[in-house]
Structure 1
Amino acid sequence: MPSIRKTFVARSDDAPQTRMYSSELQALMWEILRTLSQIDAEHHLRLDEVERSATEDELKVYVRRKLTAAHRERREPYVTQLEKLRQQQHRQSFGI
């Protein structure tokens, strides 16, 4: 099978745009992402505990559903806030 080689030519009008964000906005976004990561990690640990338990399968299903619902509810305000910050970031980037 012949080898296919692609060549890309960069032109000034094709150059990727570097977006600059305020350091404060970026710091807030990183903090929210860290919090979401912690929430997700805790959720996975709890699910693992349920899986390793000697509880009946039917009860495990119920507990997993409850944990997942609580997980979604807990992370929802952070996801909402992150989306607002992303929109703000977008407006700043494009001067909207």
Structure 2
Amino acid sequence: MPGTRKTFVARRDEAPQDRMYSPELQALMWEILRTLSQIDAEHHLRLEEVERGATEDELKEYVRRKLTAAHRARREPYLNQLEKLRQQQHRQSFGI
């Protein structure tokens, strides 16, 4: 579903004490998260520019939809890479 976000939360009582991200994977994941944060911030600024504009509401809605579609398309490869890294770490953590 397009607007749905997945949140991964490790509960302390369920996580093995010795399981940690490898430094390489952690660095890659943080870089991807930083990039996603920048993409989100830019999108937010563009939406604010649209709202401040003097154009009619119908045009604003059209531009918002186009910006949101472009935002999702821009984020998708980073989300996919992040998920691959999470799966890789999971396999390493559990010896799968």
TM-score interval (norm. to shorter): 0.7 to 0.9
Q: 4+ residue stretches of structure 1 with deviation over 3 A?
A: none
The match for 1:41 is 41
Gaps of 5+ in 2: 1-12
How high is the sequence identity, in percent, across the aligned residues? 87
The match for 1:21 is 21
Gaps of 5+ in 1: 1-13
- Give the TM-score normalised by the residue count of structure 1: 0.82
Instruction: Specify the structure having the higher radius of gyration (Cα).
Output: 1
User: Structure 1, residues 21-48: CA drift from partner, whole Å, max 9, x if none?
Assistant: 2100100000000000000000000001
- Give the TM-score normalised by the residue count of structure 2: 0.82
How many residue pairs align between the two structures?
Answer: 83
User: Structure 1, residues 3-37: CA drift from partner, whole Å, max 9, x if none?
Assistant: xxxxxxxxxxx675221221001000000000000
Identify if the C-alpha distance between structure 1 residues 73 and 15 changes in structure 2 by more than 3 Å, giving closer, same or farther. closer
The match for 1:59 is 59
The match for 1:69 is 69
Instruction: State the Cα RMSD in Å.
Output: 1.3
Q: Which amino acid aligns with 2:21?
A: Y
Identify if the C-alpha distance between structure 1 residues 16 and 84 changes in structure 2 by more than 3 Å, giving closer, same or farther. closer
